Amino acid sequence: MRCPKCHNQDDKVIDSRISRDGGSIRRRRECLGCGTRFTTYEHVEQADLLVLKRNEAREPFDREKLIRSFTKACEKRPVSLETLHGAAEEIATDLAASGQREIPSRLVGLKVMDKLHSIDPVAYVRYASVYREFQDVGEFIHEIASMEHRVPASVVHPELFAPG
Ligand SMILES: [Zn+2]
């Protein structure tokens, strides 16, 4: 595995740990060139899972993209990378277990929101507000609304709590 710092290809594994659900293995590695330690995750390939977008386009389900969404939503929040990888892993496992080959992107978005909701309320609201802009109103908003009652109102509607 190439070192993220010096790009050396030689490393040694210093720790391997299997995730709680058995769906992935996390390895701590040390670069033999510069001594940098980094982490890799090993998963079963779920390449046959497709995401059906609103414009009817299909794209392969991309776990890395999911992790990027999580990372962006949790920017500067006290959430570990490990937690985000775990959440992405759980979503991937759920989707694979659903037996559906094509997954509506809306469903993926809702699963992300559901995870973020239990991880960090601020990240949840960030994600939900960005996501909502790209969606039609209707059923989707209804689903969000039913989730929002679980978040403190001061987080969802900070303007209502602003002084003055
Ligand atoms: Zn290195």
Cα 37 to ligand 1 centre (Å)? 8
Cα 58 to ligand 1 centre (Å)? 38
Average pLDDT for 41-61? 81
| pLDDT confidence band for 126 (50 / 70 / 90) | confident
123 exposure class (CB count in 10 Å sphere: 0-12, 13-18, 19+):
buried
- Give the integer Cα–Cα distance in Å for 62 and 45: 10
The pLDDT value recorded for residue 137 is: 47
- What is the DSSP secondary-structure string of 73-129? HTTTSS--HHHHHHHHHHHHHHHHHT--SEEEHHHHHHHHHHHHHHH-HHHHHHHHH
Domain parsing of the chain, residue ranges: 1-43, 46-161
Cα 39 to ligand 1 centre (Å)? 13
Cα 68 to ligand 1 centre (Å)? 24
Helix (H, G, I), strand (E, B) or coil at 43: strand
The number of C-alpha atoms within 13 Å of 60 and in the hemisphere containing its C-beta is: 7
Task: Indicate the helix (H) or strand (E) that contains 12.
Answer: strand 11-18
Cα 69 to ligand 1 centre (Å)? 27
> Could you tell me if 109 and 131 are in contact, meaning their C-beta atoms sit under 8 angstroms apart?
yes
Cα 82 to ligand 1 centre (Å)? 22
Q: Which residues surround ligand 1, an ion (CB under 5 A)?
A: 3, 5-6, 8, 31, 33-34, 36
Q: What is the pTM of this model?
A: 0.58
Average pLDDT for 27-42? 93
Cα 2 to ligand 1 centre (Å)? 8
